[in-house]
Amino acid sequence: MALYSDKVMDHFQNPRNVGKLDDADGIGEVGNAKCGDIMRMYIKVDDNGVISDCKFNTFGCGSAIATSSMATELIKGKPIEEALKLSNQAVVEALDGLPAHKIHCSVLAEEAVRAAVKDYYDKKGIAYDPDDFQIHDCESCQS
Amino acid sequence: MFVYADNAATTCVSKTALDAMLPYLTEQYGNPSSLYAFAQKSTEALAQARADVAACLGAEPREIIFTSGGSEADNQAILSAARLGARQGKKHLISTAFEHHAVLHTLKKLEKEGYEVTLLDVHEDGVVRLEDVAAAIREDTCLVTIMFANNEIGTLQPIAEIGALCREKGIPFHTDAVQAAGHTPIDVKAMNIDMLSISGHKFHAPKGVGALYVRRGVPIFNLIEGGAQERGKRAGTENVAGIVAMAAALKESVENMEANTAKIIPMRDKLFAELSKIPHSKINGSLEHHVPGTVNMCFEGIEGESLLLLLDANGICASSGSACTSGSLDPSHVLLALGLPHEVAHGSLRLSIGEYNSMEEIDHIIEVVPKVVDYLRNMSPVWDELEKGQRPHLI
């Protein structure tokens, strides 16, 4: 059996929404280069609070790129509150699964979306509960 | 185009090795321990293979123990020396930080059992210094084990000098020559090597067969009990076909070493020359002391696994020392031992070529790698920051 599902390979080889948004309303970046993956998520939010556009840049392995790509697909066109509900599990399911040691990439994708929304809230002066935006440090970076 | 450029991982079985082994799977399948004439053909084949392997290494036939591969040979050599050392009250071993895990994990296990291990620095060029070995030797040192050639970066170690030093000090010296045998000259006598491990599948024999050379007079303990095979030093019915194939493949590799090297070097040099044109790339390990076929480079701002997957999509088989390919969170211990920062080590690529590769294949690699690196850099936030000067270039 191949390491990755066909869906993962498709999103890795033909990633959706790669790039930057120069006029982004929110930018979130998670991970670090030392650990081998960084995701940066750009969102554009329209007057109705809907994510009208979304792009990503990722440094990382195949599944890091695929989960970023899938996350942008899952939140594009959705109200911001709905994007906040995106779970890593939803990303994994949409990709037809990930190997156990790559689940971490889907967590990063979820957190990149949340970090972008948090940045949007900060810029707009919208109040939020900080507890909803906790970013997990990855284990290997704590030592 | 399909390009196999991972010969340090494993190699194809050569026609010579295959032809040599086939009769021992079908017609001459007798157990070498059996008495009748039919089985004695297997016994003879085994003896001939032993003589051939010994000749290729500058050893005597009785100094060769056939094993299941390099890992078993490494384990037996180290555990045996440690056990002997303990009997003499010597429980200190010297090795390097960038050994294969077959050595490092065995040393780790010994550490848990109360042994002390000194892992020598391999410096930025991936070459151990003789003076570092000399300085590490203690009264209670029971083994020096230093690899002949590194598996990831291909650097050759000063084996003859270390051998001479250890012999002078009376300390057993083992070398893991898995990446060297068949690719670079080995003479266990001239190099004062006491124990040496090889693995067949790294030089066009099948997987699952290897050998441990043990100098006559050096005591060796079993890992596997249960029979009188291999002079009682390694039980288990011999893998006759595999052993015959390994002997044929090693003989072929040694006989053609000069011609193979002359073919591989221009291909390797072209890879280095062309891939070095990629900005912010770095060649890992000294090129002065090097096996012919291994090319290891880092490309800043990208991660190795995604690089490998895209090379695979373009028909190229290669490997990387990134964390994602090592199965742990840390990138390759070899690249870290060279002092490379984690973020650089994540972007490593190993291409290991052999005499079966062609210049057309090299040209394909040279065409694909820069494009793939460029593609990944364009979607990398790390590269973005490097380009904007928000993050300092490390290479």
Measured CA to CA, the distance from residue B14 to residue B394 in angstroms comes to 42
The C-alpha of A79 sits at a distance from chain B's nearest C-alpha, in angstroms, of 26
The C-alpha of B93 sits at a distance from chain A's nearest C-alpha, in angstroms, of 28
pLDDT digits (tens, 9 = 90+) for B119-159: 999 999 999 999 999 999 999 999 999 999 999 999 999 99
What is the residue-wise DSSP string for B54-106?
Answer: HHHHT--GGGEEEESSHHHHHHHHHHHHHHHHHHTT--EEEEETT--HHHHHH
pLDDT tier, B48 (very low <50, low <70, confident <90, very high otherwise): very high
Q: What is the pLDDT of residue B328?
A: 66
- Tell whether the model's pLDDT for residue B87 goes beyond 80: yes
pLDDT digits (tens, 9 = 90+) for B21-40: 999 999 999 999 999 999 99
* DSSP code, position B200: G
Report which of B171, B162, B158, B149 is spatially closest to residue B82, judged by C-alpha positions: B171
Mean pLDDT, range B287-314, rounded to an integer: 96
Average pLDDT over chain B, rounded to whole? 96
Chain B residues touching chain A at CB-CB below 8 Å: 301-306, 309-310, 313, 322-324, 327, 329-331, 341-343, 346, 378-384, 391
Q: Which residue bears the tokens 């904007």?
A: B388
Q: What is the pLDDT of residue A140?
A: 46
Measure CB to CB from residue B331 to each of A29, A36, A101 and give the nearest one: A36
Report which of B106, B96, B57, B390 is spatially closest to residue B223, judged by C-alpha positions: B106
Q: Of A3, A35, A41, A59, which to mutate for an interface test with B (greatest number of B Cβ within 10 Å)? A: A59
Residues of A identified as active-site: 35, 105
* B137-to-B74, B194, B215, B217 alpha-carbon distances in Å: 21, 17, 21, 22
- Tell whether the model's pLDDT for residue A143 goes beyond 60: no
The count of other CB atoms within 10 Å of the CB of residue A129 is 6
Delineate the domains of chain A, giving CATH numbers in brackets: 6-123 (3.90.1010.10)
pLDDT digits (tens, 9 = 90+) for B320-376: 988 776 566 678 999 999 999 999 999 999 999 999 999 999 999 999 999 999 999
pLDDT digits (tens, 9 = 90+) for A9-61: 999 999 999 999 999 999 999 998 888 899 999 999 999 999 999 999 999 99
CB-based contact, A42 to chain B, within 8 Å: no
SS3 of B269-305: the string is HHHHHHHCCCCCEEECCCCCCECCCEEEEEECCCCHH
CB-based contact, A139 to chain B, within 8 Å: yes
pLDDT digits (tens, 9 = 90+) for B174-217: 999 999 999 999 999 999 999 999 999 999 999 999 999 999 99
Partners of A65 on chain B (C-beta within 8 Å) are 306, 379
Q: What is the pLDDT of residue B167?
A: 98
Mean pLDDT, range B254-276, rounded to an integer: 98
* B75-to-B30, B163, B202, B278, B329 alpha-carbon distances in Å: 29, 20, 18, 41, 26
- In three-state secondary structure terms, B207 is coil
Residues B137, B321 contacting (CB under 8 angstroms): no
Partners of A35 on chain B (C-beta within 8 Å) are 323, 329, 342
Mean pLDDT, range A98-114, rounded to an integer: 93
Report which of A20, A83, A72, A23 is spatially closest to residue A49, judged by C-alpha positions: A83
Report which of B354, B371, B390, B348 is spatially closest to residue B4, judged by C-alpha positions: B354
Q: What is the pLDDT of residue B199?
A: 98
Residues B82, B91 contacting (CB under 8 angstroms): yes
- Tell whether the model's pLDDT for residue A136 goes beyond 70: no
Partners of B346 on chain A (C-beta within 8 Å) are 33, 36
Partners of B341 on chain A (C-beta within 8 Å) are 34
User: Do B381 and A101 count as a contact with CB atoms less than 8 A apart?
Assistant: no
Partners of A37 on chain B (C-beta within 8 Å) are 303
pLDDT tier, B290 (very low <50, low <70, confident <90, very high otherwise): very high
| Percentage, residues of chain B above pLDDT 90 | 97
User: Do A61 and B301 count as a contact with CB atoms less than 8 A apart?
Assistant: no
Measured CA to CA, the distance from residue B247 to residue B339 in angstroms comes to 38
Measured CA to CA, the distance from residue B197 to residue B201 in angstroms comes to 13
- Tell whether the model's pLDDT for residue A137 goes beyond 60: no
The Cα angle at residue B8 between residues B103 and B294, in degrees rounded to 5 = 110
| Percentage, residues of chain A above pLDDT 90 | 80
Measure CB to CB from residue A36 to each of B309, B346, B378 and give the nearest one: B346
Residue of B12, B142, B317, B324 with catalytic role: B324
Residues B356, B6 contacting (CB under 8 angstroms): no
Q: What is the pTM of this model?
A: 0.94
Residues B238, B66 contacting (CB under 8 angstroms): yes
Measure CB to CB from residue B381 to each of A13, A15, A40 and give the nearest one: A40
Parallel, antiparallel, or unpaired: how do β-strands B281-283 and B210-214 relate?
unpaired
User: Do B306 and A60 count as a contact with CB atoms less than 8 A apart?
Assistant: yes
- Tell whether the model's pLDDT for residue A142 goes beyond 50: no
pLDDT digits (tens, 9 = 90+) for B247-256: 999 999 999 9
- Tell whether the model's pLDDT for residue A134 goes beyond 80: no
Q: Phi and psi for B120 in degrees, rounded to 5?
A: -75, 150
Q: What is the pLDDT of residue B177?
A: 98
Q: What is the pLDDT of residue A63?
A: 94
Q: Is the dihedral of CA B297, B302, B305, B307 positive or negative?
A: negative
